[in-house]
Amino acid sequence: MAQGTRERDFALQVATRLREAGYQALWAGGCVRDQLLGLIPQDYDVATSARPEQVRDLFGHRRTLAIGAAFGVIVVLGRQSQQIEVATFRSDGAYLDGRHPTGVTYTTAEADAQRRDFTINGLFFDPAEETVIDYVGGQQDLKQGLIRAIGEPSARFSEDKLRMLRAVRFATTFDFQIDPPTLAAVQSMAAEVHVVSAERIGGELRRLLVHPARKRGLELLLESGLLAQLLPELAALWQQQPACWQQTLQHLDQLNSDSLAVALATLIADSRQLALVSEIGRSYRFTNKEIERASWLVLKLPDIEQSETIPWPKLQRVLVHEGVGDLMDLADAVLGNAHRGVCHARRRLALSPEELDPAPLLTGQDLIAHGVRPGPGFAQILEIVRDQQLLGTLGNRQEALLLVDQWLERNRGGS
């Protein structure tokens, strides 16, 4: 059974159980939106008239977690590792920290809809009646392809500043327009996005950058004023060099990869400011592996560009790296898949394993057995032997050891 089907079935079971106990129970938010868009929801949320303690009594304390009980949210656990948040209909108090309300008041479904961020996320679905319940005009906005804040946009964004970035991300991933008053509110409040934690901003940037429509995402970040706040060094550079901005957009549009590391490298590739990879990555809590891979991609892209002219041993070490698939994706986007260097690198990659990456003629153990003491020149000797092997001047272990002896003799002579 597909993951989406299992989640849907569990969400139906939870709603049915609540309904049979005499409570109103509706699916809420993103799962309703996705269903109406013809997408398969990846998770479901249930909104109910039952209070948190009533939800726990109904499903049992062993099958529930009171992680968000202070805000009316109980997590119900399924028997196949499913988890569904069951939230009591509520109205929120003031958001003094820009993320959480100071308190909640339990209320009706209609009032609950008014506290949500965008109309397309303020929809309910009654799984028993199979009907959509819409108090905010979300169905019409879905049909029109519009991201519109519920109520006063500035009030919604004041409650949680991350919603400004979410507006851009939703418009990007659904190919929607942002309602003009909603966009105007983002533009006027963009500088306030810094109150949001780096992890939450990073999560939204990640989802935007790995999406195929990332080019439009960057354009919306610029239009909304968020680009200068979130990527200030790049925004300043692109403002000074409009041609670089247009090139970067084109490359993002041509990128065929869902890797964050490749997307981050594409952002930096035209400016070649390698330090920005680490700065951006660490600012938004991307993983060390992603930062290291993105840095390596930017650093090695010139090797693909110049693959026809650089020494084969140098190119070979790039082509046998575990990240070469990402590097070729980057090269296709930035240089173009018809670029001579890219084509040459692909021809080399098509070599047989024995030609592309032959087994080394010597290892460190071989050098020790030959009487070479580990020291500063140890790695250098192995590198020289490997280079000559790849160039075809050495054909066997005996020739390699002879080269080692010659190197050692020259080295002694020069000491």
Average pLDDT over residues 32-51: 95
Identity of the residue numbered 342? V
Q: CB count, 10 Å around CB of 283? A: 15
Q: What is the pLDDT of residues 179-190, one digit of tens each?
A: 999 999 999 999
CB 372 within 8 A of CB 378: yes
Average pLDDT over residues 113-132: 96
Identity of the residue numbered 264? L
Q: Does the pLDDT of residue 295 top 80, yes or no?
A: yes
The CATH classification of domain 1-143, taken from the options 3.30.460.10, 3.40.350.10, 3.40.50.300, 3.40.50.720? 3.30.460.10
Q: Does the pLDDT of residue 170 top 60, yes or no?
A: yes
The pLDDT value given to residue 415: 40
| CA 263 – CA 211 distance, rounded (Å) | 9
| CA 397 – CA 346 distance, rounded (Å) | 30
357: tokens are: 């990456």
Q: What is the pLDDT of residues 83-117, one digit of tens each?
A: 999 999 998 766 655 556 666 889 999 999 999 99
The pLDDT value given to residue 81: 82
Q: Does the pLDDT of residue 172 top 70, yes or no?
A: yes
The pLDDT value given to residue 211: 97
The pLDDT value given to residue 68: 84
CB 124 within 8 A of CB 47: yes
The pLDDT value given to residue 414: 46
**pTM, entire model:** 0.89
Q: Does the pLDDT of residue 34 top 90, yes or no?
A: yes
Average pLDDT over residues 192-214: 96
CB 260 within 8 A of CB 210: yes
Q: What is the pLDDT of residues 363-389, one digit of tens each?
A: 999 999 999 988 878 999 999 999 999
% pLDDT > 90, the chain: 87
Residue ranges covered by each domain of the chain = 1-143, 359-413
